[in-house]
Chains A and B, each alone.
Chain A
Amino acid sequence: MAPPQGKPENVLRLADELIALDQHSSALQSLHETIVLKRSRNAQGFSLEPIMMRFIELCVHLRKGKIAKEGLYTYKNAVQNTSVTAIENVVKHFIELANKRVQEAQEKADKISVEYVDDLEATETPESIMMSLVSGDLSKSRTDRALVTPWLKFLWDAYRTVLDILRNNARLEVMYQLIANSAFQFCLKYQRKTEFRRLCELLRSHLGNASKFSNAPHSINLNDAETMQRHLDMRFSQLNVAVELELWQEAFRSIEDIHSLLTFSKRAPAAVMLGNYYRKLIKIFLVCDNYLLHAAAWNRYFTFTNVQKPATANFVILSALSIPIIDANKLSGPSIEAEDAKSKNARLALLLNLSKTPTRETLIKDAISRGVLSFCDQAIRDLYQILEVEFHPLSICKKLQPIIKRLAESNDTAQYIRPLQQVILTRLFQQLSQVYDSISLKYVMDLATFEEPYDFNPGQIEKFIMNGNKKGAFSIRLNHIENSISFSSDLFSNPIKSSDSVSLQSTPSELITSQLTRIAKSLSSVLMRFDTDFCLLRKQQAEAAYERAQAGVEQERKAVIAQRSLLELRRGQADTLATQREAELAAQRALKQKQESEAESLRVQEEINKRNAERIRREKEAIRINEAKKLAEELKAKGGLEVNAEDLEHLDADKLRAMQIEQVEKQNKSMNERLRVIGKRIDHLERAYRREAIPLWEEDAKQQAEHDREIFYEREKQRKEVQERKHEQAIKDKKAFAQFASYIHAYKQNIDDERDKAYQEAYAKAKNVIDAERERQRKEIFEQKLAEAIREAEEEAARAAEEEANRELHEQEEAQKRAIEERTRAAREAKEREQREMAEKLERQRRIQQERDEEISRKLAEKAAARRANIGASSPSPGAWRRGGASAGGVSRDSPRYSRGGYSRGSVPPRETLAPSKGAYVPPSRRNQQQQ
């Protein structure tokens, strides 16, 4: 049943009654509901605070951390705007109650060590539960331990919850710091290292959020002096606890946090705080084995405190002397890692506000120059003297042994003995290498003797030497055969850089580079010592120079003044001239510029005009080219005009058209000319051919007649042969048939014989049978006759067919002959016509030639007549008649031949019937057809 909602007093009274009845859970639930529901009403803090107090008590009693957290959050949101004290009271009460319960639990389990539990947030494992069940003897211990650990966990959760509630709120800042410090003490008291790390992370996160959400209401202003101081105080408490818990990494992070805050803050921090800062850094760097920055921290601390204390001065010098000379980074190999170490040291040096990374040399030199040594103990001063000033390799370890014993008496100084020994050994080998080429290994081991527990065995010393060689600090070789150590004496090796050690004499490599310098110095000192005249001469020269300078100083001063005046005058003149020249040049330049500008203007105008003209011309050209291309394509498609594509750029329509016309005319002209020439040539050739062919034609006619005759004869011969073969075949058939007939007769005879017998037998039996036999015989005879008739008919038909075939063949031959005759006649007529035409041409030419000859002879006759006229004779006339007669005779010979030939052919018509093709001329193209 829900409790009745009403006034807070009623809710509180109800809770008290439930508590009295030992029903804490119900009471807690009632109060929790009241707190949560009251949020919307925005109740006053004073009215809720008693309820919250009771609520917290119940949460602690029942160990309900989460419910407490929820309630506290709700309460804070409801109340933070009105009353901050209420939150603080409730929170403080919460922590106090939790602490009290932890103490009560611990009192119960006072004999049990709580350190067995490493992580409070880890619950018990099944194995531990089984162990608690199995081990009867430990049942009480387990029970007691179970009492303490949960309360520790609860307290830790309480701290976390409260810090989370109080964070990033300016009003709750003081309480936040108090709770944080209380949490630190909790971690320190109960040695909760894991929780301490988480606590540091939590605080760091809160600070980051404070910077991030600086615009939120009630946010922390880190620029405020008191706020910054408060945060620094918190961080220093954190640092102190980290150091006491020996969580060095966390301590280092705290240092970085402090450094960030100090950098962020513009004000100088408090002196006590800064001193604490340096002291913690001193400790952290020592734990990290960073002796360099450890010494630097001591140096800063000494400078900062300005308190001249022997103790501090001792540590400043002691830590500086303990910095390893050989690089202590054992993992160093290539320069990359060395560079990383350097940058890391530079970053760490920033924590000490050092502008640059310190070195062993700078730290020692700085301390000595500021007189720190005067405040040190005698032992520290002796240590410095032996390590850094004196050169005693054979006794350095022996001398330092009492000092080491003295340092071992105090825990603060004993921690420097081991690094100091490394420095001592380094100095030993550095100094030995200056005065020894080779040395016995046993001797070295004796030199490097220390009392227990700080003694070295030979292996360690040998390892030290090898390490020094690797780092480049030494150049030592060990020879185990001779049990000796050799130091490098190469003249041209790079000198080992050990500028911080005492140098007794130069090394061989240094000597080789300063040989000439040493000789020059020696000779100069000898000259100064023994040649007094030389010294006097130099002194006299110096004095003379001084006297000359002194005597001439006034004159020189005047000369300088005069020269200066002259220089000034000349400079003025030069300036004047330069000014004039400059003016002239300026004028010329202006004029030239004007002219150039005018010329430029003109040029620009011309350029523009030219460009426009060019543009117009280009456009026209493009148009013309396009038209030309189109026309060319058109003409090409139509007339087949061949135009070279490359020439199109230079053509236009008119030219193309003219070209076309020209080309066409040219083609026509050339074709006509060619035709004329060909015609002329053909005419001449044809005439020559025909003149030459005339005898050949006659000869060919004869051959053709003979050929025709031969063909006829062969054809006749073949016909006869065919006929003979047919005849023979017929005879053979007859013979064959004759044989068959005989067979038929024989067969028939046999049948007749048999039938006769049967007839007679049958006649004797009956007349019908005889009649039948007689009828049958008559039928047989009929059939026989019929067969003969058929045979004859067949023979007749065959004969008739043969005759018909012959007749048809003959008719075909006749038809062919007639066709041939027709073709021959047509050819002959065509030939005659052609001959006639040719004769006419020849006649015409002959007549022209005759007329020309007559003209010539007439002229000749006239001349001769004129010449004979002088003489008076008539003999040329007969000559003229004679020549004319000869010409006529030639023509006559030709004409009669053709006529006679025609007549001769016309006079033999009867041969056609006998040999149709004998006298006919068949062109060679048709002869094959005829033969076929």
Chain B
Amino acid sequence: MEGSDFILVVDSSVEEQVEELAMYLDNLEANTDKNVLALCREYLASENVKEVLNLFLTRLPLLAQAPEKELEPILAVFINLIQESAAFEDHVSKFCQALEQIADQNNNLTPAILSVLSILFNTAVKERQHARLSILTSVVTLTTRYSLFSTLAPNLKYFPDWLKEAGVSVSDHRAFNIFVSKAIQSYDDEQSFAFLLEAVKMDNSTADEAVRELVQRAVNSPKYFFFDDIVTLPPVQQLEQSTLQLLGILSGGMTDDYVSWVAENHAHCQHQKFDEDAIARKMKLLTIASLATQAPNNTLSYGDVAKSLKIDENEVELWIIDVIRAGLVEGRMSQLTKTLSIHRSSYRVFGKHEWVALHEKLAKWGSSLRYMLQVMEQPLSSFTIASSKKGNRDGSAVTASE
């Protein structure tokens, strides 16, 4: 065919394909009228391909009763016919709706339908790429409706590039992201949140329901601990002052700050559906993380944790395990000395003070490495115990730097 950059292997003419499909539809038991072939011949006589396609689109739901192994070939014939359409995008949209109807009637056919959609997606190239938006919408709808998310998950990361190539408008892309976020939330909350975040980032002027939902989910999620990305977004800045204060506390505040804020904003929490207990728990974990970053000699005592969190010492270990589980801190507890030996901790805010500390550590590390290099450049015969001791000290310094 002219103007096509893909190849569909067909060995018959358009008329023959139309007849084949029409006869197949007429032979289905569910087809009571059995007039598809006659009508097609009538339309073909007047060379009205559009009407033929429209007729087929109204009859395709009948294929819900077809054997699974015959569904894909017969729909492939229709895919080939649809390439002739002048209104390709519109017909693709209707075709997707028809496929969804078939899946609704017989959900056992969903894998085959997904395969057909895949073929259709690959035929939408160049000026027809915009139709991919409809196809992807159907794919997401079907996979999330019939518990086939595992087949969809590997392809989620390609959605932005595909839609960009398809020339979808920003508003349509944003709407699609919001749709995907809602659809996959029950399967992969993390991916869902990512799509929602991308949607919010696409529009800097609107503070709509999507923005509020983003903040609400970020605040209530037990796994989300870093709010720098959200606080700096322009749409978030347009929210209420109370919400911004809460985000500020979550970014760099302590438990006491949160307790004060909650005392003044109970009504706002209820209105915005903020989970006070979840946020309180999160604040405690973040507080321990902050204490860990400031602990001298990388050792944090149970007493300090208990005092900051206003809890008993016998509850400290539970909280420490939760902090480790959250990935904020890595270390091991020593119950005999009632301390936590910290191996790694996370900074909630990285400002000037943190940069200065980092500079000092790197400088110390650099000097240790230079001294080690000097020691190694010396001849082996002059290696002495003093050098060994210095080497040990350098090792300790390196460990401390790490």
Chain A residues packing against B (C-beta within 8 Å): 391-395, 435-440, 443, 482, 484, 487, 489, 504-506, 511, 515
Q: Report yes or no: A506 in contact with B332, Cβ–Cβ below 8 A.
A: no
Q: Report yes or no: B321 in contact with A489, Cβ–Cβ below 8 A.
A: no
Q: Report yes or no: B333 in contact with A484, Cβ–Cβ below 8 A.
A: no
List 14 extra interface pairs beyond A394-B321, A395-B318, A438-B336, CB under 8 A.
A391-B321, A391-B325, A394-B317, A436-B335, A438-B334, A438-B337, A439-B333, A439-B336, A443-B335, A482-B336, A489-B332, A504-B324, A504-B325, A506-B330
- Please pick, from A392, A438, A515, the residue contacting B335 in the complex, using a CB distance under 8 A: A438
- Please pick, from B318, B324, B332, B337, the residue contacting A394 in the complex, using a CB distance under 8 A: B318
Report the Cα distance A902→B335, complex, angstroms. 158
What are the 9 tightest A-B residue pairs by CB atom distance, in nearest-first order?
A: A437-B334, A439-B335, A437-B332, A438-B334, A438-B336, A505-B330, A436-B333, A440-B335, A484-B336
0 or 1 for each of B314-353: is its CB under 8 Å from A? (1 = yes): 0001101100110000101111110001010000000000
**Minimum Cβ distance to chain B for residue A479 (Å):** 9
Query: Which chain B residues border A482 with CB–CB below 8 Å?
Result: 336
**Minimum Cβ distance to chain A for residue B197 (Å):** 15
Query: Which chain A residues border B320 with CB–CB below 8 Å?
Result: 435
Query: Which chain A residues border B337 with CB–CB below 8 Å?
Result: 438
Report the Cα distance A276→B334, complex, angstroms. 54
Q: Report yes or no: B332 in contact with A435, Cβ–Cβ below 8 A.
A: yes
Q: Which of A392, A395, A437, A484 has the most CB of B within 10 A?
A: A437
- State the main secondary structure of chain B at its contact with A: mixed
Query: Which chain A residues border B325 with CB–CB below 8 Å?
Result: 391, 504
Report the Cα distance A505→B334, complex, angstroms. 16
Given contacts A505-B330, A511-B343, contact A440 B336 (CB under 8 A): yes
Chain A to chain B contacts (Cβ below 8 Å), 30 pairs = A391-B325, A394-B318, A394-B321, A395-B318, A435-B320, A435-B321, A435-B324, A435-B332, A436-B333, A436-B334, A437-B332, A437-B333, A437-B341, A438-B336, A438-B337, A439-B335, A439-B336, A440-B335, A440-B336, A443-B335, A482-B336, A484-B335, A484-B336, A487-B332, A489-B332, A504-B324, A505-B330, A506-B330, A511-B343, A515-B402
Query: Which chain A residues border B335 with CB–CB below 8 Å?
Result: 436, 438-440, 443, 484
Report the Cα distance A443→B325, complex, angstroms. 21
Query: Which chain B residues border A506 with CB–CB below 8 Å?
Result: 330
Report the Cα distance A391→B330, complex, angstroms. 15
Q: Which of A393, A438, A487, A506 has the most CB of B within 10 A?
A: A438
Report the Cα distance A108→B106, complex, angstroms. 71
Report the Cα distance A437→B341, complex, angstroms. 9
Q: Report yes or no: A435 in contact with B318, Cβ–Cβ below 8 A.
A: no
Closest residue of chain A to B339 (Cβ to Cβ) is: A437
**Minimum Cβ distance to chain B for residue A442 (Å):** 10
Report the Cα distance A505→B332, complex, angstroms. 10
**Minimum Cβ distance to chain A for residue B392 (Å):** 15
0 or 1 for each of B230-274: is its CB under 8 Å from A? (1 = yes): 000000000000000000000000000000000000000000000
Q: Report yes or no: B336 in contact with A435, Cβ–Cβ below 8 A.
A: no
Report the Cα distance A504→B332, complex, angstroms. 11
Closest residue of chain A to B336 (Cβ to Cβ) is: A438
Report the Cα distance A439→B333, complex, angstroms. 8
Closest residue of chain A to B321 (Cβ to Cβ) is: A435
Query: Which chain B residues border A489 with CB–CB below 8 Å?
Result: 332
- Please pick, from A443, A505, A515, the residue contacting B324 in the complex, using a CB distance under 8 A: A505
- Please pick, from B318, B332, B343, B402, the residue contacting A436 in the complex, using a CB distance under 8 A: B332
Report the Cα distance A439→B336, complex, angstroms. 6
- B 328-382 contacts with A by CB, 8 A: 330, 332-337, 341, 343
Query: Which chain B residues border A394 with CB–CB below 8 Å?
Result: 317-318, 321
Report the Cα distance A443→B335, complex, angstroms. 9
**Minimum Cβ distance to chain A for residue B14 (Å):** 32
Closest residue of chain A to B341 (Cβ to Cβ) is: A437
Report the Cα distance A549→B335, complex, angstroms. 62
Query: Which chain B residues border A395 with CB–CB below 8 Å?
Result: 318
Report the Cα distance A904→B144, complex, angstroms. 180
Closest residue of chain B to A518 (Cβ to Cβ) is: B344
Report the Cα distance A489→B332, complex, angstroms. 10
Query: Which chain A residues border B334 with CB–CB below 8 Å?
Result: 436-438
Report the Cα distance A887→B51, complex, angstroms. 187
**Minimum Cβ distance to chain B for residue A392 (Å):** 8
0 or 1 for each of B291-323: is its CB under 8 Å from A? (1 = yes): 000000000000000000000000001101100
Report the Cα distance A435→B325, complex, angstroms. 10
**Minimum Cβ distance to chain A for residue B325 (Å):** 6
Query: Which chain B residues border A443 with CB–CB below 8 Å?
Result: 335
Query: Which chain A residues border B333 with CB–CB below 8 Å?
Result: 435-437, 439
Query: Which chain A residues border B321 with CB–CB below 8 Å?
Result: 391-394, 435, 504
Query: Which chain A residues border B402 with CB–CB below 8 Å?
Result: 515
Report the Cα distance A504→B321, complex, angstroms. 9
**Minimum Cβ distance to chain A for residue B341 (Å):** 7
Query: Which chain B residues border A511 with CB–CB below 8 Å?
Result: 343
**Minimum Cβ distance to chain A for residue B219 (Å):** 23
Report the Cα distance A484→B335, complex, angstroms. 9
Report the Cα distance A505→B343, complex, angstroms. 11
Closest residue of chain B to A391 (Cβ to Cβ) is: B325
Query: Which chain A residues border B324 with CB–CB below 8 Å?
Result: 435, 504-505
Query: Which chain B residues border A515 with CB–CB below 8 Å?
Result: 402
Query: Which chain A residues border B318 with CB–CB below 8 Å?
Result: 394-395
Closest residue of chain B to A440 (Cβ to Cβ) is: B335
- B 12-41 contacts with A by CB, 8 A: none
Report the Cα distance A20→B321, complex, angstroms. 96
Closest residue of chain B to A395 (Cβ to Cβ) is: B318
Closest residue of chain A to B327 (Cβ to Cβ) is: A505
Report the Cα distance A820→B336, complex, angstroms. 148
Report the Cα distance A208→B116, complex, angstroms. 59
Q: Which of B330, B335, B402 has the most CB of A within 10 A?
A: B335
Closest residue of chain B to A507 (Cβ to Cβ) is: B332
Query: Which chain A residues border B317 with CB–CB below 8 Å?
Result: 394
**Minimum Cβ distance to chain A for residue B36 (Å):** 40
Closest residue of chain B to A439 (Cβ to Cβ) is: B335
0 or 1 for each of B150-188: is its CB under 8 Å from A? (1 = yes): 000000000000000000000000000000000000000
**Minimum Cβ distance to chain B for residue A717 (Å):** 119
Closest residue of chain B to A444 (Cβ to Cβ) is: B335
Report the Cα distance A280→B220, complex, angstroms. 52
Report the Cα distance A506→B320, complex, angstroms. 16
Report the Cα distance A484→B321, complex, angstroms. 20
Report the Cα distance A83→B164, complex, angstroms. 91
**Minimum Cβ distance to chain A for residue B343 (Å):** 7
Query: Which chain B residues border A487 with CB–CB below 8 Å?
Result: 332
Report the Cα distance A395→B402, complex, angstroms. 33
Report the Cα distance A511→B317, complex, angstroms. 22
**Minimum Cβ distance to chain B for residue A429 (Å):** 14
Closest residue of chain B to A431 (Cβ to Cβ) is: B321
- B 77-103 contacts with A by CB, 8 A: none
Report the Cα distance A435→B317, complex, angstroms. 9
**Minimum Cβ distance to chain A for residue B368 (Å):** 16
**Minimum Cβ distance to chain B for residue A680 (Å):** 96
Q: Which of A395, A489, A505 has the most CB of B within 10 A?
A: A505
Query: Which chain B residues border A438 with CB–CB below 8 Å?
Result: 334-337
Query: Which chain B residues border A437 with CB–CB below 8 Å?
Result: 332-334, 341
Query: Which chain A residues border B330 with CB–CB below 8 Å?
Result: 505-506
Closest residue of chain A to B330 (Cβ to Cβ) is: A505
Closest residue of chain A to B332 (Cβ to Cβ) is: A437
**Minimum Cβ distance to chain A for residue B199 (Å):** 21
Report the Cα distance A415→B402, complex, angstroms. 51
Report the Cα distance A73→B106, complex, angstroms. 69
Report the Cα distance A391→B317, complex, angstroms. 13
Report the Cα distance A394→B343, complex, angstroms. 21
**Minimum Cβ distance to chain B for residue A924 (Å):** 103
Report the Cα distance A121→B87, complex, angstroms. 96
